[in-house]
């Protein structure tokens, strides 16, 4: 029994997916332990500094902050809509039993109905995952809008940082799901284009995800810090003088 073209799917498709998974596991390790070496970690550092600069100032430009976050919310909502639309198109394509393009001899690989169903299901899962991540991203950005627009100065900057960073993290995961979906889309044309796309995408993503720029030293307005120190000193002075007045 010799090697047939149907065996290419068993060999090349898992190899391509393994390359993508290994790269993203390595990227996740760098993001958690060496965030300054990744573009996502570098951008998150700048976003934290942006939140602190806007939350610690005495006169906050709330309109500009809301406009910046609203643009991210709109982008996440748009991509969520696109992902859901693609899911609907895939469902309509599956229901169309007269379409036999991907089972023709032009596709060099396994064209059996079972393999074709696995392709559709895998692609549908990627788009659904992307839709869920973009929706969660928009939810966290909306929550950051509420926190920034709160008139009370008692909102800690840490809460806004967490909302913004989580929104960006879900955004990144949604984009990664779309990258995987592109690989699986090329699988419909055969395992060879899918494997070639996996190798090219890992090289391309490594170029995009790597960061060599040093972290920017941001200077914050020290007036808020001085105000908090003076308030703390006055509280300590009052606590010292209170026993003497009682005596």
Evaluate whether 13 touches 123 at the Cβ level (below 8 Å): no
β-pair partners for 234 = none
Domain that holds residue 169: 7-221
Residue 209 domain flag = yes
Low pLDDT (below 70) residues in the chain:
1-6, 57-60, 96-107, 216-247
- CA triple 203-35-208, angle to 5 deg: 25
- Provide the domain count of the chain: 1
Residue 182 domain flag = yes
What pLDDT score was predicted for residue 188? Answer: 85
For 5, the 3-state DSSP assignment is coil
Residue 227 domain flag = no
What's the per-residue H, E or C state across 73-140?
Answer: HHHHHHHHHHHHHHHHHHHHHHHCCCCCHHHCCCCCCCCCHHHHHHHHHHHHHHHHHHHHHHHHHHHH
Residue 239 domain flag = no
Residue 240 tokens, joined: 């010292």
What pLDDT score was predicted for residue 190? Answer: 83
CB atoms under 10 Å from CB of 208, counted, come to 8
Residue 62 domain flag = yes
> CA-to-CA distance for 111 and 14, rounded, in angstroms?
17
What pLDDT score was predicted for residue 223? Answer: 44
Alpha helices in the chain (DSSP H): 7-33, 39-56, 62-95, 113-148, 157-187, 191-209, 223-246
What pLDDT score was predicted for residue 202? Answer: 95
The backbone torsions φ and ψ at residue 243, rounded to the nearest 5 degrees and listed phi first, read -65, -35
Residue 102 domain flag = yes
Long-range contact pairs involving 49-54 (C-beta distance under 8 Å, separation at least 24): 49/216, 49/218, 49/220, 51/157, 51/160, 51/161, 51/164, 52/157, 52/161, 52/218, 52/220, 53/218, 53/220, 53/221, 54/148
Residue 232 domain flag = no
What pLDDT score was predicted for residue 63? Answer: 79
Residue 143 tokens, joined: 């929550």
What separation in angstroms does the CA of 202 have from each of 24, 79, 181?
A: 9, 22, 14
Which tens digits make up the pLDDT trace of 115-133? 888 888 899 999 999 999 9
Residue listed under structure tokens 């951008």:
43
What separation in angstroms does the CA of 72 have from each of 27, 97, 130, 155, 168?
A: 23, 40, 16, 22, 9
Which tens digits make up the pLDDT trace of 187-200? 888 888 899 999 99
Residue 233 domain flag = no
> CA-to-CA distance for 206 and 136, rounded, in angstroms?
26
What pLDDT score was predicted for residue 226? Answer: 38
């Amino acid at each position: 029994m010799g090697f047939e073209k149907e065996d290419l799917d068993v060999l090349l498709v898992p190899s391509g997916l393994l390359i993508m998974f290994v790269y993203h596991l390595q990227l996740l390790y760098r993001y958690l332990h060496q965030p300054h070496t990744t573009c996502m970690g570098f951008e998150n550092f700048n976003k934290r500094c942006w939140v602190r600069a806007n939350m610690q100032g005495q006169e906050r430009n709330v309109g500009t902050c809301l406009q910046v976050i609203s643009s991210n919310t709109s982008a996440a909502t748009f991509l969520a809509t696109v992902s859901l639309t693609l899911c609907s198109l895939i469902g309509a394509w599956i229901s169309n039993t007269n379409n036999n393009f991907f089972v023709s001899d032009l596709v060099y690989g396994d064209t059996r109905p079972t393999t074709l169903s696995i392709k559709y299901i895998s692609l549908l899962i990627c788009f659904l995952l992307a839709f869920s991540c973009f929706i969660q991203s928009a939810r966290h950005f909306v929550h950051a809008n509420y926190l920034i627009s709160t008139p009370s100065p008692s909102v800690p900057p840490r809460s806004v940082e967490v909302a913004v960073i989580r929104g960006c993290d879900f955004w990144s995961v949604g984009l990664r799901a779309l990258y995987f979906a592109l690989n699986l889309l090329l699988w419909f044309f055969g395992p060879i284009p899918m494997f070639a796309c996996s190798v090219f995408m890992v090289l391309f993503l490594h170029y995009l995800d790597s960061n060599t720029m040093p972290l920017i030293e941001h200077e914050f307005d020290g007036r808020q810090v001085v105000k908090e120190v003076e308030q703390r000193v006055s509280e300590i002075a009052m606590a010292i003088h209170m026993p003497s007045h009682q005596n």
